Chain A
Amino acid sequence: MFRNLKFRAPVATIIAIASGIIMLFTYIFPLGGLRAFILDIVVIGAAAALLIGVANLTGVHLDKLRKGEKPVNSAALLIALGITFVVTLLQGYTNLYPASLPGSQWILTNIQMPVESTLMGILAITLTYAAARLITQRPNIFSVLFVLTLLVTLIGNTQFGLETGLGQTVRNFVSHGLASAGARGILIGVALGTIATGLRVLMGIDRPYGG
């Protein structure tokens, strides 16, 4: 185990390990104040990380604009980003922004929500098409089982299924029976994987922070 430890960046690694171990201690010992302090720092850091992502996106498209790669789209993105950013900050901290002008809520309601919802709606068509061709792509017993379960569940969610009792049977046996067993296995597997990954970070084996 110790052979895999690499000491290329001791400062970042030590900080990561120490902070993680201290945080685990707060689950065991009554260290509420220390826990709150650490979590405050993490909250601020997470907000800064979000800003980093926005800045990176801005930089990428500024670079594209400078190079002339798809300038119209990049310009549209940057303009939308700038306007939304400024408007949201102005509305939050000043009373100077007129109410008659589109604000951040207007942008969210009339630009972001319609586009995202429509993209999700297109997914319904794509999923229908994919399900219809699934047997052709992967002709095995598990694909058949998958498609059958899909069809039965969809029918069980309809009024027809609910009124005929099919829905209840499907729900009790399929959704809340067989599927829940598989879901529980998935949840336990995810938890075990989370614990293993977290322990690797706390032991310094994995260093996703650039160490």
Chain B
Amino acid sequence: MFAGMSMLDLIGMLVSFVLTFLVLLYVFEDNALFRLAIYIFIGAAAGYAGAVAIKDVLLPRLFGLQYTQMLLVILWIVLLLMKISPKTARIGNPAAGLLVGVGAAIAIGGAIQGTLVPQVTSSGDIFSPRLMQTAGFGQTIGYFFQGLIVLVGTVSSLAYFHFGAKPAPNQIPTRHRIIEIISKVGEGFIAITFGVIFAGIYSAALTALIERLHFLIETITKLFGF
């Protein structure tokens, strides 16, 4: 029955089985056993993440440094750790500021060179004459309409997120009429996009459910030899 499984694996399997069952009870109602399972999970996840951060990031970097550099690194870590307590949080502001400043710069650089330029460029690529030269008339028309749809969809989706409006006395601020029309078109594209994303999320969730149910069946099969 348990051939090839060590005692540790067996215990682990049982623990997984119990926890999976406890969490599945949430479908019917929130209960104390479900909450207990969740608290155990949160504790394990937090402890694991903290230990991995120390093991894989902090300690290897400290051991490979010179004495002076190590002191500086320790000082840097201590400054950040000051953010734990509200009383000493202000001491850690410069350290947090460096993190935020560098993170902002990295985000700006990546957004410009990784997303903004390529995506804007590719939105008009479909109208490239070179592409239409190599294709036939039908294909060209197809490319043209496809490109038009993509272009209209992209622009109208951006317009949907435009929230600038002129305030009017005793009236709710409204956008310009042209912007309003374009944003309505964009709202349609957004709804379609979100529908596809929703389908993807559901597919992922269904796959997870199938995997868990499969595990339960496998465990029962192994335990009871079905």
Which residues from chain A sit less than 8 Å from chain B, CB to CB? 9, 11-13, 15-24, 27, 38-59, 72-74, 76-89, 92-93, 100-102, 104, 106-125, 127-128, 131, 142-143, 145-150, 153-154, 157, 174-175, 177-192, 194-195, 197-199, 201-202, 207-211
Cβ-closest chain A residue relative to B7: A100
Complex alpha-carbon distance, A52 and B81, angstroms: 6
Which chain A residue has the least Cβ–Cβ distance from B195?
A149
Contact (A111, B191) CB under 8 Å given A41-B76, A50-B49: no
Which of B12-20, B133-141, B172-180 contacts the other chain?
A: B12-20
Is there contact, CB below 8 Å, between A195 and B111?
Answer: yes
Min CB gap A174→B, angstroms:
7
Query: Could you say which residues of chain B place their CB within 8 Å of the CB of A54?
Result: 46-47, 49-50
- On whether the beta carbons of B80 and A49 are closer than 8 Å, the reply is yes
User: Is A18 touching B209 in the complex (CB atoms < 8 A)?
Assistant: no
The 7 closest A-B pairs by CB, nearest first: A181-B153, A185-B157, A149-B195, A80-B43, A121-B209, A84-B47, A182-B193
Scoring B residues 112 to 156 as 1 if CB is less than 8 Å from chain A, else 0, what string do you get? 110110011011000000000000000000000010011111111
Q: Which residues of B contact A (CB under 8 A)?
A: 8, 11-13, 15-16, 19-20, 23-24, 26-27, 35-55, 57-59, 61, 73, 76-77, 80-81, 83-84, 89-90, 92-109, 111-113, 115-116, 119-120, 122-123, 146, 149-158, 160-161, 186-206, 208-213, 215
Q: Is the CB of A51 within 8 A of B149?
A: no
Cβ–Cβ contact B98 & A157, under 8 A: no
The 8 Å CB contact of A20, one of B80, B101, B200, is B101
Which residues of the other chain, B, contact A128 by a CB distance below 8 angstroms?
202
Q: CB-CB < 8 A to A86: which residues of B?
A: 51
Q: Are A79 and B195 in contact (CB under 8 A)?
A: no
Q: What's the Cα separation between A75 and B27 when bound, in Å?
A: 25
Q: B24 near A122 (CB under 8 angstroms)?
A: yes
A47 and B106 alpha carbons, distance in the complex (Å): 18
Q: Closest CB-CB distance, A169 to chain B, in whole Å?
A: 14
Nearest CB of B to A87, in Å: 8
A81 touches B46 (CB 8 A): yes
Q: How far is the CB of A211 from chain B (nearest CB, A)?
A: 6
Question: Chain B's nearest CB lies how many Å from the CB of A16?
Answer: 4
CB-CB under 8 A for A51 and B81, given A114-B16, A118-B23, A149-B192: yes
B179 CB, min distance to chain A CBs, angstroms: 14
Question: Which of B41, B55, B92 touches A111 (beta carbons < 8 Å)?
Answer: B41
8 A-B contacts, Cβ less than 8 Å apart? A11-B94, A84-B43, A111-B40, A150-B202, A179-B196, A185-B186, A197-B104, A202-B101
**Residue in A73, A81, A89, A195 whose beta carbon sits within 8 Å of that of B108 in the complex:** A195
A45 and B58 in contact, given A20-B105, A146-B191, A179-B193 (Cβ under 8 angstroms) = no
CB neighbours of A194 from chain B (8 A)? 107-108, 111
What is the bound-complex CA distance between A210 and B100, given in angstroms? 11
10 more A-B residue pairs beyond the given contacts A88-B47, A124-B208, with a C-beta to C-beta distance below 8 A? A41-B102, A51-B50, A80-B40, A80-B44, A80-B47, A122-B24, A150-B198, A177-B149, A179-B192, A179-B197
- Given A115-B23, A146-B191, A188-B116: A178 in contact with B102 (beta carbons within 8 A): no
Q: In the complex, are the beta carbons of B153 and A185 less than 8 A apart? A: yes
B157 touches A181 (CB 8 A): yes
Check A183/B58 contact, CB under 8 A, given A11-B94, A121-B208, A191-B116. Answer: no
Smallest CB separation, A209 vs chain B (Å): 4
Give the contacting residue for A85; candidates B47, B150, B190, B210; CB below 8 A: B47
Residues on A with C-beta less than 8 A from B93 are 9, 11-12, 209-211
Collect the chain B residues with CB atoms within 8 Å of residue A190's CB. Answer: 111, 115
Chain A residue at minimal CB-CB distance from B122: A184
